[in-house]
Structure formats: structure tokens, C-alpha cells
Structure 1
């Protein structure tokens, strides 16, 4: 279900934007549960700005017969439009079996921020199986096609080449035609990396020991990519995320 909402957390590019629409997705029932199939279609019209968020985290649950649940999301961002898509984490509960497919089509001068956060199980719980695929095309050309598979069916998913035993995995994609060029590759701390994409775009990949650590790293990367880059300049000397004092 769709709900209008106020700002919650950082929202780049929105200050003073009179074309802004802010919408939250709210679950109408528990799940997804094994066997469920969801489809979401988003069309951001030319020249408009959409901030899309979630009311709360999404909990992936097993079904009674072991069937896979699926979520397919198709997004179109028109000419001169902006999409800031910052959903809450997806939690892979024990024995879940789920697949998410996201396909974004961007016009050449569209702007995009999209975040993904995956938590592997609830407290002291081993996760189920999750496959996430993110495809982005810009001006009709492929920009990113990334797939992640974790859980008991994915051999070696918790090894040093994938999660290294971390319980939180996240990514962030920023596309901004105002950039003169993509950022250079950089490390932001021990578990976060910025990777340039073809064109004015960047991918951030991050791991965290928990949801809070992951969010801090992604927020720091988002701030870096949306406030320190100016057209015609490249200020990308690596620096660690801003420290956050414990409460």
C-alpha cells in the first residue's frame, strides 16, 4: 500500500524542490511468505522528483510448502526526472526462499539514488535463501547488472570472497548527469568500496556487522557522492566514513 509521508533520514537533491512527491510503501500483510508473488511498477514523469521509502523493514518468511516468494519491480525515470529510492532493510528469516528482481530504465538526463540493504537472519538466526538482481539501463544502454545469492543453497556465500561472515550486506547506486565524470575507485573504511560505473555513475558496496553499522557506512557514502562532487571537478581522495558516537 502507498502512504504519503514526511522526510525520514537523508534525502539528497530535494531541498527546495517544488516538484517533490514523497511516498512510503506499507505492507498490508505479513511477508512476503513462500509462494507469494508481488509486482511493483513505478513511473517517475519527466521533470518530476519522487522520494520512495518504506514504512518499516521487510521480513522474508518461509511458506508451508517451501515455495519461492518473488518481488518484481520495474521503474521508469523520465527526462530530467529524479528518483531517490531508499527502502528499509530486507530481513532474510530462517528457511525463507525468496527472489527479488529490480529493473530501472533511466533517461539520459535522469538522476537516481537507489539503496539495497539485506540482513541475514534475525537475532541469532541463520538466514534462508535470497537472490537479489538489480539491472539499470541508462539512455537504452546497460549501466549495471548485479546479482547476489546468499543462504544455504548458495555454496560459499559466507566465505571471505562474499560476506566474510558479516550479517548485513548493502549497496548504493548514484547516477548524476551533473558530474563531469564518475568518481575514482576508493575505499571508505574497511568494509565499504566506491566503484565507478560507465558514465556519471557510481556503485557503493558495503558490509556490516549489523544493520546500524551498514546504514552508517551507506549514509556516509551517500553524503560523499551527493554533496562533494561538482561538475568539472573531481574531489575523490579516499577518507573514512564520519564517526558516529554511540548512544
Structure 2
């Protein structure tokens, strides 16, 4: 199955954000929900199971100049084995214009036994854009080993790459993915990247954030938090605490 969902947000001229394009296909349904202030909020609702083997899903979100957009999902994405061989692909394309702000906060991706999923997330930002992006991966459901899961996250600001990383886990992944230098036996891993213009002049200081999380500055106006945890609940707590720390740092400047 192939499906694409597309979101376009723009200023509405009244201090808010309009959604001139909100279109989903097949299993990728989009719903506008109540936002706050100038922000428009959208939920991605999985209308069918998947992605399954061989599926190709794409989600595009574009926050145009001055828009404020928050995108989440109604439930976790569960990667399952399908009747068709080959890996499934889930591609996310984010674009944030001048003075625009995008919060990309989906629920976790769960890699079920026997599945094979590649997730690629690319974000392109204008120099004055702001981004909060969270990704979470859970390796296997309760009591089962994971499938094969490969994730790539790339972020560019003003055409300059500030992050481009890939992680492969599960059967067939390069050796060492579960070793002390990577997951160390944990079954939940996540990333939080925050881009804001103020970080260009005053980068965050690298530090640990509780057990299993680390904050590092990136080249340009960006900061990255990477966390590992024994389960999804603990992982979310670590990333929420990290985001609160970064927001407090911004407000205190």
C-alpha cells in the first residue's frame, strides 16, 4: 500500500494559523483539533493497521512564514510483518518557513517481531524558524523480541546540515546495536531536537539529564537530547523533562 498525508499551515491574517491543506490517504487520516492561541493542532489518526511489509507511507508538513503548527498522533505506530516481503518505509518531510514554528510530537514507533521498517525524517528550516521534534522507538511489544528497525533523522537550517544520524536495530542490523555503546540492553530509545535562533549565539551546555539521557549542542541554532530507557513510559518522562529544561533555559535568557 502507498499513502501520503499532507499538511500546510499559514498565517490567517487574524493572529492565528489556517490550514489550507489537510489531506490524508488510506491509513493516514488527519484531524484538526482544538489548539491554543495562534497555534493550529493536527492529529494523525491511523485508520488501518501498519505499516506492513512493502508499504510506503509519506507524511509532509509545511509551516509557512509566521505559522504555528503542532502535529501529534492518536496512537503509536505499530510496525508488523505483512504478507508481502520487503521492508516497509515511513517517510516524514517537514518544512518550516521564516518566523514559523513546528512541533512534531508523534507517539512511538513499535517494532513488532518479524517486521522490517525504515523511518526517514527530514526537516528543512529557514534561518528564523523554530522546531521541536521528538522521535521514540520501542523494540518489541511486551515479552517479544523486536523486528528490524532503521531510523534516519536529518535536520537542516538555512541549507546547512546540523544533524544527520541513523540507527539500525534488530535482526540483521550491524553488530553492536544492543551493546554498551548504543542501547546497552534497553528497549526504548528516543531523540528530541530543538531548533531556535537564540541557540546560535548562546548554545546549550552539554550535560546528562537523569539516568539514560544526554543533552548536546549542535552546529548552528540547535540542541539534541538522546535517551534510552527500559520502556516507553520512562523514555517519555526523560524526554518531557529534557524539553522542560530547554524551555526554561530559553525563558531565562
TM-score, with length taken from structure 2? 0.85
The answer to whether residue 204 in structure 2 is matched with residue 176 in structure 1 is: no
Partner of 2:7: none
1:109 aligns with 2:114: no
Equivalent residue, structure 1, for 2:213: 192
Partner of 1:241: none
Q: Quick one: distance in 2 between partners of 1:68 and 1:4?
A: 31
- Deviations along 1:75-103, one digit per CA (max 9) or x if unpaired, are 11001000011100110000100101111
Q: What residue ranges of structure 2 are gaps of 5+ in the alignment?
A: 1-28
Structure 1 regions of 5+ residues with no counterpart? Answer: 8-14, 234-247
Tell me if structure 2 keeps the 8 A contact 1:178–1:230.
no
- The reply on whether 1:5 has 2:26 as its aligned counterpart is no
Deviation beyond 4 Å, 4+ runs, structure 1: none
Secondary structure at the aligned position of 1:229 is classed as: helix
Distance 1:32 1:182 in 2: 38
Deviation readout 1:187-214 (Å, 9 max, x if unpaired):
0122000010012210000011111110
SS at match of 2:167: strand
If each structure's strand is expressed as a fraction of its own residues, which one has the higher value? Answer: 2
Instruction: State the match for 1:62 in structure 2.
Output: 81
RMSD over aligned CA atoms reads 1.3
CA–CA distance in structure 1, aligned partners of residues 198 and 156 of structure 2:
18
> 1:19-74 CA deviation, whole Å, 9 max, x = no partner?
x1100001121000011001121111100000000000010001224311001121
Q: Does 1:130 align with 2:149?
A: yes
**Paired residue for 2:229?**
208
Aligned length: 223
Query: Are the aligned partners of 1:115 and 1:171 in contact in 2 as well (CA < 8 Å)?
Result: yes
